[in-house]
Amino acid sequence: MKVSSTQNFGGVEVKILRALQSEGRLSNAELAERVNVSAATCHRRTQLLFEEGYITGVRAEVAPSAVGLGAMVMVGVVADRSTPESFGAFEGAVMELQEALDCSLVAGDFDYLLKIRVRDMADFNKLHGQKLIALPGVRQTRTFFLMKEVKENARLPF
């Protein structure tokens, strides 16, 4: 199944991906109706999309403020060394940091960019002092408090 090609945008698989990306709670029957195939065909093709790695998971989008995590912070991390061992140690430690939603190796002024959710500035200050600066291989951090999330978790444009 080849759905990543822009030549194949009219395909049933692409329609399934688009529908599920915008509304992940669709039942198989609702999804089949939206993409205009039988329920059995829809189920089989959706299963293939999971098996082949086009769909990596399904989860609820929780409102951060509703669970007391209203502050979003981006942290640029500069590593003290650029070695595979140093990067590996840092990445392993970040995987254990539950406040870190995303961690990306980047080119530019930082080595890594972290997306962090906390209650408020005091909560971040505690996290920074106790955990972030203690991560292995961290030479420097640069912190950016988001004032307004203009566009977040946008759908993939395919």
> How does pLDDT run across 118-154, given as a tens digit for each residue?
999 999 999 999 999 999 999 999 999 999 999 988 8
Q: 83 and 135: one domain?
A: yes
The alpha carbon torsion through 42, 44, 45, 46 (nearest 10 deg) reads 80
Residues 29 and 98 in one domain: no
With a pLDDT cut of 70, the percent of the chain lying above it is 94
68 and 46 share one domain: no
For 44, the 3-state DSSP assignment is helix
Domain coverage including residue 13: 6-51
Q: Are residues 73 and 19 in the same domain?
A: no
> What's the rounded Cα separation, in Å, for the pair 97 and 90?
11
Q: Are residues 32 and 69 in the same domain?
A: no
- Going by C-alpha positions, the residue among 58, 16, 38 that lies closest to residue 8 is 16
Question: Alpha-carbon distance 14 to 37, whole Å?
Answer: 13
pTM given for the model: 0.84
Residue 56: count other Cβ atoms within 10 Å of its Cβ. Answer: 7
Both 133 and 73 in one domain: the answer is yes
What CATH number should be reported for the domain holding residue 12?
1.10.10
Q: Are residues 44 and 93 in the same domain?
A: no
Is 37 contained in some domain? yes
* Residue 112's CATH number: 3.30.70.920
Check whether residue 41 and residue 80 sit in a common domain. no
pLDDT digits (tens, 9 = 90+) for 31-46: 999 999 999 999 999 9
